[in-house]
Homo-oligomer: A and B are copies of this chain.
Amino acid sequence: MAPNSKVNEPDVTGTRWLDADQQRVWRNYIAMVRMLEEALERQMQADSGLSMNDYVLLMQLSEAPGRRLRMSELAADSVYSRSRLSHAVSRLEDAGWVQRTECPDDGRGTFAQLTDTGFAVLAAAAPGHATTVHDLLFAPIGADGCTALGFISDTVLATLTNQQP
C-alpha cells in the first residue's frame, strides 16, 4: 500500500506511486477542499438561505448576456451533467429565481433566464460570500499563494480538458 521508494518512476506493475511528500499534500488537499466547501456552504446557508450550488448557478446566469444561458452552456460552465442541471433548474424555477424560455433558433433548445427576484437574491448573497472567500482563502495564502493556486488550477484544468474527447 505504501510506496517503498521515493522515486517517481513506474514500478513493475506500471504504477506511479506517490512519494511521502505528495501523499501528505494530497491528503491535506482533500481535507482543505472538503472543509472549505463546508465552511462556504454553512455561511451561504446561514446568511442567505441559499445553497452554494444554487449560488453558483445564479451567478453564472447573472454574468451571461441577457442574464440567460442555454441549458447545455450552463451545464458545461458548471461542470454539471444535463440531468443534474435540469433538476436543479426545476427547483430554481419553483423558487421563482429562474424561468425557462424556449429557444427560437433551435427547437430543441431551452434558455434558463434569471428573474429579477433571482438577481436580487443573488445580489444580497454576494457580499457575504466574497468576504468569506477572501477571509478563508485569499487573505491567508497571500498574493504569492494566489498566483500559485492560479497556476495549479490552470495547469490541472488544461491537463483534464486536453484528454477529454
Contacts and interface: CB of A to CB of B under 8 A. Distances in A.
A29 to B, nearest CB: 5
Contacts of A158: 140
Contacts of A62: 1
Which of A10, A63, A149, A156 neighbours the largest number of chain B CB atoms within 10 Å of its CB? Answer: A156
A160 interface: yes
A16 interface: yes
The interface residues of chain A, by DSSP majority, are classed as: helix
A151 to B, nearest CB: 7
Contact of A145 (B14, B130, B148): B148
Contacts of A56: 30
A159 to B, nearest CB: 5
B146 A25 contact: yes
Given A29-B153, A141-B156, 11 more contacts: A16-B131, A17-B134, A18-B138, A22-B133, A26-B138, A28-B150, A39-B160, A136-B159, A136-B160, A140-B155, A141-B151
Interface of A: 1, 3, 8, 10, 13-18, 21-22, 24-26, 28-36, 38-39, 56, 62-63, 79, 122-123, 126-128, 130-131, 133-141, 145-146, 148-161
